[in-house]
């Protein structure tokens, strides 16, 4: 099963439980979600930053999800995070820039060809909370 299939499968099994107000982040508010994410049948435990709902968008910590999928997480600088996943057919690099509403996805295939895609996020921005990078679950589940 490749990373795209794992993400889609795990996010299709997510469950949403009761919500209570968590905090206010400037122009938007966050709600504690109680979101659970399962990958290969095992629940992902978020130790220091749970997923949040911000203005009706579910945001998940990228390290907790992508490392569980077998990807490497590399911090380029304080405002940029690369997620790198390798399989037999290709390498996939996903670059998150804090404060941006776009994400760059680069696929490098075993024959050396490269495909770059910029994904514009609707109603969401990559952000940090408790020193953790959060991205929209909708983006994560679609990749």
Give the tens place of pLDDT for each residue, 72-116.
999 988 889 999 988 888 899 999 999 999 999 999 999 999 999
- Over range 64-78, report the average pLDDT: 88
Measured distance between the N- and C-terminal CA atoms of the chain, rounded to whole angstroms: 13
Contact 83, 71 (CB under 8 A): yes
Tokens of 78: 């304080």
As a whole number of Å, the CA-based R_g of the chain is: 15
pTM over cut 0.85: no
Tokens of 92: 């996939």
Question: What is the predicted pLDDT for the residue at 143?
Answer: 56
């Amino acid at each position: 099963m490749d990373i795209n299939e794992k993400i889609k499968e795990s996010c299709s099994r997510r469950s949403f439980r009761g919500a209570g107000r968590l905090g206010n982040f400037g122009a938007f508010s966050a709600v504690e979600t109680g979101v659970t994410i399962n990958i290969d049948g095992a629940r992902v435990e978020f130790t220091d930053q749970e997923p949040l709902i911000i203005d009706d968008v579910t945001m998940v910590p990228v390290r907790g999800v992508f490392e569980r999928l077998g990807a490497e997480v590399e911090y380029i600088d304080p405002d940029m995070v690369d997620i790198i996943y390798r399989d037999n057919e290709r390498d996939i690099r996903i670059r998150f820039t804090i404060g941006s509403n776009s994400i760059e996805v680069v696929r490098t295939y075993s024959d050396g060809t490269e495909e770059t895609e910029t994904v514009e996020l609707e109603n969401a921005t990559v952000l940090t909370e408790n020193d953790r990078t959060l991205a929209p679950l909708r983006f994560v589940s679609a990749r």
